[in-house]
Amino acid sequence: MPYAPDLAGCALDGRYELHELIGEGTFGRVYRGYDRRLARPVAIKVIKPWWAEDPGGAESFEREAQLLARVSDPGIVQIFDVGQAEEGLYFVTELVEGESLSARLRRAGPLTPWEACDIAEQLCRALEHAHAEHIVHRDIKPANVLISGRGQVKVGDLGIARLAEGSTDGGTATIVGTPRYMAPEQASGQPVTPATDVYSAGIVLYEMLAGRTPFGGESAVEIALQHVQMPPPPLPNGTPPSVEVVVRNALAKDPADRYQSAVAMADALARTRDRADADAPTANGATADADGDADVTFRHKTVPLWAGDRDAATEIFARDARGRTPGGVDPTRRAPRMTPRRTVNPAARRRTIAVFALALAVLSAMLLAARALTAPATEVLPQLHGLTARQANAKLRHKHLHATFAHDYSQAKPGTAFAQSPAAGALVNDGSTVTVMISKGPRPVDVPALTGETSAAATSTLHKDGLNAGVTTVPAPGTTPGVVVRQAPTAGHTVKPHTTIVLYAAETPSWHALTSFSATGGGGHSVPFRIQGSQWRLVYSMSYNGTCDFVLFCNGPSAQVLGLGADSTNQSFNLSNGSSETKGFKTGPGLYQIDINPGWDDARWSIEVQDWK
């Protein structure tokens, strides 16, 4: 994990003092600070150094500031200023004096149902204002819910929030958020909506009631599967049924089955809190369930209210039948209730239905018109292939779009765009983010090991790998001609495609001169020389100066071969008169030296040592 220095004690732009570190988010660290100009305490978030060097990280940090500025609501942390200092990007927000919900749960444990409902209601009403600006938070959790000293709830950390109309968290998009609080569609990479935040708020409400989240596990994947497949465990005994209903609705797997807005969940919580005594017996012995339907209890028998009058009438008739006089004359008795007369007018009913249908059609048309007028503007995505990152970014900003860059190998020119998502020509909303792939050039190739192969086979292998071959023959005694004895670069190196690999192949053996020496009258000796081949030879010339001392017999120089190594070879022979004379040896590899002994007669001579390799 890279190290982020503690900037406490610094003053940004000579205005904002950083007093102490109080929190840390994905892209920045949060400090308690002080605004010298306005003389007020503030919270200051400074980007982490490694994100400042990453265009995507800096963009996410700036987007958080923009989204905070877009929402003006007491339930959302308010932003005051944005700046760029030597220490990096930063933005200044209000300082919430209090604690986070996560700290409160750690300190005090589970909350009472009505206290949890109050916090959840405030959270949902704050989220509704964010949703009204088309912002989906995507990371609602206790650590991002701040509670002031007066009990007011504020939502912070919009670091991974995004515009709902631009959300494409599927396909190649990265899944972001905190696994324990992710909605099923978010965990599976599907598009996010305000209902995603409703689910996360339901998880937070569950944790406030139970002291733990409903799902947990060893890995993010395990937790995500539980969100998608498993129902939440039951809440603790004693949780009011009406509160359980709210939690159950908020945690529905299908977004369509949840509260369709944060304000709908907030209203349900308000009604639940206002009916805090609805689960207790009423003064008439009635109880209310979570949906508000009431029953009346009579002598341990519950009778629905709608059936009360009918049962009462039945009881009166039975009592009157038993009360007849012996003479058969009925006494005065109560008449049964009669059903009110209903006037049926089919034509009027049809007119009423027609008027209702017309009103519904007009209302639908008005809603569609309002949606069309308020819908965000759309842009046709331009073609970015072949552009540099700077050019692509400028072209997208001109269209009111944002770019995020990734780099990969391709055959395109290094430093230019070769792919984009969405594709060129697609319709996207203003403010959408486009992923642009920048080429790093062709993928590097690993140099294979070719020593011991024939030069032809090695060349074929290199061509298959997209590399070129250059063959140079070198002496290699004892090696079959054409076999590669070494290569450059060596195996294991990584090179660019089409790089030439030099192959040094054993050449067909031939005579190679090693050293030579000569003299006119007198003797001499060669420098020591090393023979590598299986055989070697001396090529020499010798001629007498004048006439020999003995007319019929000449005594010229002679050569002696000395072995200087382990081989103690010692051979002698006389130099013959003539040119290009040869003397061969098959003593094999070793270190040798030639000594020339002068004869009685003066002579000129020269000797060249040649090795067979």
What is the CATH classification number for the domain harbouring 31? Answer: 3.30.200.20
- 473 shares a domain with 397: no
Among the residue ranges 104-118, 286-300, 400-414, 591-605, the one predicted with the least confidence is: 286-300
- 608 shares a domain with 495: no
Among the residue ranges 149-153, 167-171, 236-240, 298-302, the one predicted with the least confidence is: 298-302
- Which is more confident, 502 or 532? 502
Average pLDDT over residues 445-468: 92
pLDDT digits (tens, 9 = 90+) for 406-449: 999 998 999 999 999 999 888 888 888 999 999 998 999 999 99
Residue 170 pLDDT > 60 = no
Q: Identify each DSSP E strand in 220-330 by its residue range.
A: 287-288, 294-298, 301-304
Average pLDDT over residues 359-381: 64
86 closest CA partner among 6, 8, 14, 24: 14
Q: What is the pLDDT of residue 321?
A: 36
Residue 191 pLDDT > 80 = yes
Q: What is the pLDDT of residue 366?
A: 67
Contact 577, 542 (CB under 8 A): yes
Q: What is the pLDDT of residue 232?
A: 94
Residue 456 pLDDT > 70 = yes
Number of domains comprising the chain: 5
pLDDT band at 2 (very low <50, low <70, confident <90, very high): low
The single residue of 81, 139, 197, 601 carrying the catalytic annotation is 139
Residue 72 pLDDT > 90 = no
- 16 shares a domain with 126: no
Q: Does 305 fall in a domain?
A: no
The whole-chain average pLDDT of the chain stands at 80
- Kindly report each contact of residues 67-73 with a partner whose C-beta sits within 8 Å and lies 24 or more positions away, as own/partner: 67/133, 67/135, 67/158, 67/161, 68/93, 68/158, 70/133, 70/135, 71/129, 71/130, 71/133, 71/135, 72/129, 73/126, 73/129, 73/130
- 458 shares a domain with 403: no
> Strand 500-506 vs strand 468-474: parallel, antiparallel, or unpaired?
parallel
Residue 598 pLDDT > 80 = yes
Nearby residues of 581 by Cβ (< 8 Å), 6 or more positions away: 539, 540, 541, 542, 575
Distance (Å, whole) CA 187 – CA 179:
7
Three state DSSP letters for 71-131:
CCCCCECCEEEEEEECCEEEEEECCCCEEEHHHHHHHHCCCCHHHHHHHHHHHHHHHHHHH
Residue 306 pLDDT > 50 = no
Q: Does 574 fall in a domain?
A: yes
Residue 250 pLDDT > 80 = yes
- Which is more confident, 264 or 342? 264
Residue 22 pLDDT > 90 = no
Q: What is the pLDDT of residue 544?
A: 84
**Which of 353-362, 375-384, 512-521, 564-573 is modeled with the greatest confidence?**
512-521
Catalytic (active site) residue 139: yes
Q: Does 332 fall in a domain?
A: no
- 250 shares a domain with 106: yes
Structure-token pair, residue 140: 């609602």
Q: Does 287 fall in a domain?
A: no
Residue after which a domain boundary falls, among 485, 506, 527:
506
- 272 shares a domain with 135: yes
Contact 538, 608 (CB under 8 A): yes
- 104 shares a domain with 85: no
- Which is more confident, 279 or 515? 515
Q: What is the pLDDT of residue 161?
A: 55
- Which is more confident, 258 or 367? 258
pLDDT digits (tens, 9 = 90+) for 318-344: 333 334 444 444 443 343 333 333 333
Residue 144 pLDDT > 60 = yes
**Which residue's structure tokens are 């807005």?**
261
- 260 shares a domain with 147: yes
Residue 311 pLDDT > 60 = no
Q: Does 206 fall in a domain?
A: yes
**Which of 171-180, 182-191, 193-202, 475-484 is modeled with the greatest confidence?**
193-202
Q: What is the pLDDT of residue 50?
A: 77
Dihedral over alpha carbons 559, 563, 567, 568 (to 10 degrees): 70
What is the CATH classification number for the domain harbouring 176? Answer: 1.10.510.10
- 258 shares a domain with 401: no
Among the residue ranges 7-16, 84-93, 294-303, 337-346, the one predicted with the least confidence is: 294-303
Residue after which a domain boundary falls, among 95, 125, 146:
95
Average pLDDT over residues 161-181: 56
Distance (Å, whole) CA 30 – CA 103:
16
Q: Does 285 fall in a domain?
A: no
Q: What is the pLDDT of residue 135?
A: 86
Average pLDDT over residues 498-511: 90
- 233 shares a domain with 103: yes
**Residue 190: which domain range?**
97-278
Q: Does 33 fall in a domain?
A: yes
pLDDT digits (tens, 9 = 90+) for 32-61: 999 999 999 999 999 888 777 777 767 777
- Which is more confident, 163 or 579? 579
> Taking the model in full, what pTM does it have?
0.45
Average pLDDT over residues 583-587: 89
- 250 shares a domain with 158: yes
Distance (Å, whole) CA 426 – CA 19:
48
Q: What is the pLDDT of residue 559?
A: 92
- Which is more confident, 286 or 452? 452
Query: Percent of the chain having pLDDT more than 90?
Result: 41
Contact 324, 331 (CB under 8 A): yes
Q: Does 358 fall in a domain?
A: no
What is the CATH classification number for the domain harbouring 588? Answer: 2.60.120.380
Q: What is the pLDDT of residue 339?
A: 36
Q: What is the pLDDT of residue 548?
A: 72
How many CB atoms are closer than 10 A to CB 136?
27
What is the CATH classification number for the domain harbouring 449? Answer: 3.30.10.20
Residue 163 pLDDT > 70 = no
Q: What is the pLDDT of residue 87?
A: 84
- 126 shares a domain with 225: yes
Residue after which a domain boundary falls, among 506, 532, 553:
506
600 closest CA partner among 528, 549, 537: 549
Residue 75 pLDDT > 70 = yes
